[in-house]
Structure 1
């Protein structure tokens, strides 16, 4: 009985050690049932990155509990947490959704000047002598002038409004914090960025002050945001020193 208990304890210890050590996890990414190549697979926990091949397959070092992020251009990013069954024969199977192409809104406004119609002035009939005489009052002879010319000011306003751009959305610090909280866990800052726990909040405030952070949050680009945080870590370290 005692020997059986020792064997069970040994097997439990081996299984626990296996779950805490990294090993390659296999997987496949598809879109509408078809293999999807060129998708970046990011292990948010240890910082490693791989790209799916033409068959949509990938292999990345990980362990149970690690968070994988799947991101690609024109695709909605996905995030999963690995469990023990993901390290089996079937591996990780993930389906990506293509993002809808958003058209830029263009506002076209028709502008009409307030023009009053004036009845034409009827000139009295002139004699043959006056018609043949090229005088300033002779309406039968073109003198090179343009009557009632184009209103170039109004035309300029109409063209300007055709190219009027939509204002960018202003991203607040609250929205930035929610975005970081949803996409990056504590292990990313402690293990990948090598920050101390009491430095994380100060580092994030340092990142929020950079206008590029708001642009990345507005574009919902997890991969570029991860690269941005890694680059800002070096600036933060220099500031501390």
Structure 2
């Protein structure tokens, strides 16, 4: 009889515990976003009670949970996230979730083996269109002040930006950036034209001065014209003379020091 009483008591306590757990469950609200942008259509699954909802156009959702439940957030374009409902979140009844976009693996890219097929030939852009570098585009946007801009006063259409940029010094700075950019492009062309071995063994340029000699070359107008024209023969002819002069000047500087 004592055994039956003890068993009944334990059964009653267990029942009360189960009932308590059920009554502890409550509906909480949340919002799903990615980098601050609300996400619609995200699947939210409570893995404990298999209750599932979907976020609305504002990224908001409401779901029934117990403290300690685990919510699973999933979508095609986002990494799956498993979220544990802690005490604070359960008490406040609000949670915020930030999902990470899935990285998209690109297919293998093949370099165009048909150089005759270009955007111009396909009619995507007009032929012989002037192509501006990033620095040149910035200068064009800022406007290069010329005295003729003042004539706009007579027609009531004064171009203000070029004048303000000229006064502030921004135009001068942008022009300098264009000049530096052009030299960088020339340096890249020159570096692909000759190997380091050519500078060291043929031109007899010291290893420490190879880069300085390259800058020396792109300051020469005739060499630059040949480089832009992709005339390697002329570049080779001119660079020999430039190397002789460069080495002579370096030797003179060393003697003076």
Please state which structure has a larger fraction of its residues in helix.
2
TM-score tier (shorter):
0.3 to 0.5
Structure with larger RCO (C-alpha < 8 A, sep 6+):
1
TM-score by length of 2: 0.33
TM-score by length of 1: 0.35
